[in-house]
Structure 1
Amino acid sequence: MPTSKDLCNKEACDIQSCLKKNGFIPERCRKVIEALERCCEKCSYNSKHCGSMSRLLGRKDEL
């Protein structure tokens, strides 16, 4: 069972894969970024992955 810090690991990895495939352009990974945001909301941002992706999450409205 994952610890709270490991929650959202799959979503964070999906973002990294998407960004790599799309020239590191966040706009092209909107769906996976939104999936991470939903995961972070679900776990009350109690995951190390939510903090490391906060810049992308903050830009969601711009995507």
Structure 2
Amino acid sequence: MGERKSKEPCKKEACDIQACLTKNNFMPQRCLRVIELLQSCCERCKYNSTHCGSLSGLLEMSAK
């Protein structure tokens, strides 16, 4: 069997954001770096991950 790409290429980044938000009292402006990492991942996989759906909401929240 060859290497198969994960069906969820951005799962790690999404989990990192959840951990960061939990640690920082759900203040997305404190998690900009991990949010940017998820955005980069979503761009790389052409948003072909269920974890990219929440990205726009996170970006809106972090801008506040």
Report if TM-score (shorter chain) is over 0.5.
yes
| 1:7 equivalenced with 2:9 (yes/no) | yes
> How many Å separate the matches in 1 of 2:15 and 2:53?
14
| Aligned residues between the structures | 60
Please name the residue that 2:39 is paired with: 37
> How many Å separate the matches in 1 of 2:23 and 2:56?
21
The alignment yields a C-alpha RMSD, in angstroms, of 1.8
Query: Normalised by the size of structure 1, how large is the TM-score?
Result: 0.84
Query: Normalised by the size of structure 2, how large is the TM-score?
Result: 0.83
> How many Å separate the matches in 1 of 2:21 and 2:62?
18
